């Protein structure tokens, strides 16, 4: 009888431990995107031809601030802050189309795309995670950023950056578990 009881207890523990992995938190941080992945966003960006592509064509490619919530409209002061953030960068150092855009002042604007698609999944021991002793997180996804300078309804200049494949593991160990967070809160209250 004792061996059957031990077997049932071991079986229940195994079911609990293996079944608990699905109880860990997961999430997705993504924005509404006109493209399913990094390659789609980059392919649309590559179809933009400075000096030829119009605002209407940008709309068809998905770079429209009125249809894509990830696209911001920048004025010439925003453009200036992007390209001349410090006095050490001189106007003469910038590409000719950027200088032309800055010289046009109110006649120029820019579209800035900032797209992040990230999924996170916690994994590991449920009890250690819940009590904040050991939290493990796996993040995957991609991001794409683009800056498109416009002047008189045409693209003047384009620039992109991004990360085609994001795969990040994070582990946070706290030997005191939930009490470690209380220690930080107590320290803050003493400093006030």
Q: What is the pLDDT of residues 44-87, one digit of tens each?
A: 999 999 999 999 999 999 999 999 999 999 999 999 999 988 88
User: Which pairs count as long-range contacts for 137-141, CB under 8 Å and 24+ apart, including other chains?
Assistant: 137/169, 137/170, 137/171, 137/172, 138/167, 138/168, 138/169, 138/170, 139/166, 139/167, 139/168, 139/169, 139/170, 140/166, 140/167, 140/168, 141/29, 141/30, 141/116, 141/117, 141/166
Q: Please list the ranges in the chain whose pLDDT falls under 70.
A: 1-2, 4-32, 124-133, 176-178, 180-192
């Amino acid at each position: 009888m004792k061996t059957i009881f031990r077997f049932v207890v071991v079986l229940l523990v195994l079911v609990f431990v293996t079944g608990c992995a699905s109880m860990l938190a997961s999430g997705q941080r993504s924005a509404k995107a006109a493209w399913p992945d990094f390659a789609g966003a980059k392919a649309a960006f590559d179809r933009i031809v400075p000096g030829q592509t119009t605002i209407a064509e940008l709309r068809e490619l998905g770079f429209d601030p009125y249809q894509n919530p990830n696209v911001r409209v920048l004025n010439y002061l925003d453009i200036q802050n992007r390209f001349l953030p410090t006095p050490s960068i001189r106007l003469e150092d910038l590409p000719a189309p950027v200088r032309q855009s800055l010289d046009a002042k109110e006649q120029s604007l820019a579209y800035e795309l900032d797209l992040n698609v990230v999924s996170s999944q916690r994994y590991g021991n449920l009890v250690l995670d819940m009590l904040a002793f050991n939290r493990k997180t796996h993040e995957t996804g991609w991001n794409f950023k683009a800056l498109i300078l416009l002047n008189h309804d045409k693209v003047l200049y384009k620039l992109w950056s991004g990360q085609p494949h994001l795969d990040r593991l994070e582990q946070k160990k706290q030997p005191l578990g939930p009490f470690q967070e209380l220690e930080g809160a107590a320290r803050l209250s003493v400093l006030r």
